[in-house]
Structures are given as C-alpha cells and as structure tokens.
Amino acid sequence: MTLREAIARELCDTTAVTAICSTRIYWERMPQGVVYPAVSFSIVPGGWNEHTMGTDSGPIGSMVQVSCWNSDGPTALTTLESLAAAIKAKLKDFAGELGDITGAVTVERIFVEGDPILVWQDDAKVYAIHQDYLIDYTEE
C-alpha cells in the first residue's frame, strides 16, 4: 500500500471527517462539479530517505499537504474549520499502522508543519484551508 492510499483510507474511515465531507476525499485534484465540503491532498516533492552504507535503511519522510474546501455561505467557514480540525485531530502525532488487511504503511510519526493557511479563491467562489504534515513512514 502506498502512502497516498493509506492516507485516503484513513481519512475515509474517520467518522469526524466523513460526518462533514462524506467520502469526498481526493488525491491531487477534485473532479469538476465537486460537491462541497471536500478534501484534497498531495505529496509535496522533495521528501527524504534514510541511507546507510549505500542502501535505503530507514524511514521515508514526505510532506503531505491536506486542503479542505467549502463553498461560500453563512456557515462555510465554521464548517471548513471543523473539517480541518477533524483531520488535524486524526493525523497530528499519529504513530502506527495506516491501511488495512490488504496492506499498510508503518508511520513513525506525523508532525504538523506550520500554521494552517486560509484562502479565498475568487474564481471558484470557495474557501480553502491548507495544512502541511510531515510523515515519517515505511511502506510494507
């Protein structure tokens, strides 16, 4: 199982997240006409591998950006902040197995990197909260 698959499965299996966005959790891009609120995430290039004596001996480090999206409306920001908080509660300081019986990623630790960034995208008329997570893991 890849890190991408493990994160998607974990977020889709987190009741506090799916209570807000159902299973509208997408890798990289959301589909055209997506229903909000929704989540997208991507792995930021430039991770690292631990090397010893010419071999990859340890964990992989990857930066993952998770973005929560919601359209404009009277409760849009409150809903968006609740979704971002539910994801952060699930991922922050997580250590253990991400995945299921078909495969797993062993996570040493997930760290929150920096503060969340709130943006308004005028062309799409949506709010977004972007949060970066540093994940130290081993794929099995």
CATH number of 3-139: 3.30.2000.30
Every domain of the chain and the residues it spans: 3-139
Order of strands, edge to edge, in the sheet holding 38-52? 25-27, 38-52, 55-71, 126-139, 103-121, 96-100
Amino acid making up residue 32: Q
- Tens-digit pLDDT profile for residues 91-121: 999 999 987 777 788 999 999 999 999 999 9
* pLDDT on residue 87: 98
Question: 14-73, pLDDT tens digit by residue?
Answer: 999 999 999 999 998 899 999 999 999 999 866 555 545 455 555 688 999 999 999 988
pTM of the entire structure? 0.88
